[in-house]
Amino acid sequence: MLTRYSVRSLHAKVLLCLTIAVTTGCDSAQKKIQSNEHADRILVVKSEHTLSLFANGKVLKTYKVALGRGSGGPKQHEGDHETPEGFYMIDSRNTHSRFHRALHISYPNADDRSRALAAGVTPGGQIMIHGIQNGLGWLGSLQRTMDWTDGCIAVTDSEIEEIWDMVPIGTPVEIRH
């Protein structure tokens, strides 16, 4: 006999399974990138929670992302958990990150350093585009249901692998609200 508690537990489990099926199904419906395509520009639009890869002015693919868990404004100082806004570039790769692969963004730029100096604060750094924390890759697309990073831009593990292969060092990155 099912008790009220076991029925609620069963409903919760079914809802969780449906959520996972729907959200992971959406990922597979997106356009697949050709292995020979390379991005020459990255655009992150924070208000839309998207990261788009461009080549020759044409969108190759757009990904849904999780951002910094701050208030949504531009990064002002180290520890504010905000994702920066401005013009940067991919300046290194980290295969030994605590997250599944990480592309380092050249934050802070000259404007960020000037603003922080004027405010008497440290601008911070270590802003990256990365996958999910190692060991938690099973979260998949559920990781982007809320902003959780310290200011980075997070995608699923399979998405960072695709981005990693398409984005060379020196690729310009624009992050806008």
Q: What is the CATH number of the domain that holds 93?
A: 2.40.440.10
| Same-domain pairing of 99 and 169 | yes
Segment of 17-26, 36-45, 135-144 carrying the highest mean pLDDT = 36-45
Domain that holds residue 149: 38-176
| Same-domain pairing of 76 and 16 | no
| Same-domain pairing of 87 and 153 | yes
| Same-domain pairing of 125 and 146 | yes
Give the separation between CA 66 and CA 46, rounded to whole angstroms.
9
Question: In which residue are the tokens 């697309």 written?
Answer: 141
> By the 8 A CB rule, do 118 and 69 touch?
no
| Same-domain pairing of 137 and 170 | yes
| Same-domain pairing of 54 and 25 | no
CA 157 to chain centre: 10
| Same-domain pairing of 49 and 92 | yes
- The pLDDT of residue 22 is 38
| Same-domain pairing of 42 and 24 | no
| Same-domain pairing of 103 and 144 | yes
Residue pLDDT, tens place only, 133-168:
888 888 888 888 999 999 999 999 999 999 999 999
Residue pLDDT, tens place only, 75-117:
999 999 999 999 999 999 998 999 999 999 999 999 999 999 9
| Same-domain pairing of 118 and 167 | yes
- The pLDDT of residue 33 is 58
| Same-domain pairing of 43 and 20 | no
> By the 8 A CB rule, do 66 and 154 touch?
yes
Backbone angles phi, psi at 6, to 5 degrees: -70, -30
Across 68-77, average pLDDT: 93
Number of domains into which the chain is organized: 2
| Same-domain pairing of 114 and 164 | yes
pTM over 0.85: no
